[in-house]
Each structure stands twice: as structure tokens, then as C-alpha cells.
Amino acid sequence: MSKNDVISQSKDILGGVPVFFGTRVPVQTLIDYLEAGDRIDDFLEDFPSVTREQAKKFLDRAAEALLAEQKDSSV
């Protein structure tokens, strides 16, 4: 799965808000679910157009970006 298979962004879809590719589900919605203490399964049940693989890849990439940012700031 490439980066473009996880997130898309277009001014024609929700005014350019980043969404899961092939859906109209903002990635922020997954973050909101997790911040509220909900499980990924709860999110996937409520938004079946998002695949588990998309959600996992998004979280993996977010973690990688955070760790890279922390590494860069400690140098």
C-alpha cells in the first residue's frame, strides 16, 4: 500500500480536509475516536469504508513522523 492509498486531499472533497483514500472520512475522525478512548474496531465499525489496513498504515506513519520529529529536535 503506497502513501497515496492511505490519505487523499482535494479541495473538491470536504474542502481539502485530509481523508482516507477512496472515502469521505477525515483522518481526524480516527484521531478523535482514539483520543476519546474508543478502539480502532469501534471506528472501523462506524466507518466501514475505511479498511483496517488504511487505519493501521495511517497510525504507523503518524508514529514514524512523530519519532523522526523527536529525533531531529534532540540533535
Q: What is the CATH number of the domain that holds 49?
A: 1.10.10.10
Residue 66 scores a pLDDT above 70: yes
Number of helices (H) and strands (E) in the chain: give both, helices first.
3, 2
Q: Which domain holds residue 13?
A: 3-73
Q: How many domains does the chain have?
A: 1
pTM score, two decimals? 0.83
Q: Write out pLDDT tens, residues 13-39.
A: 999 999 999 999 999 999 999 999 999
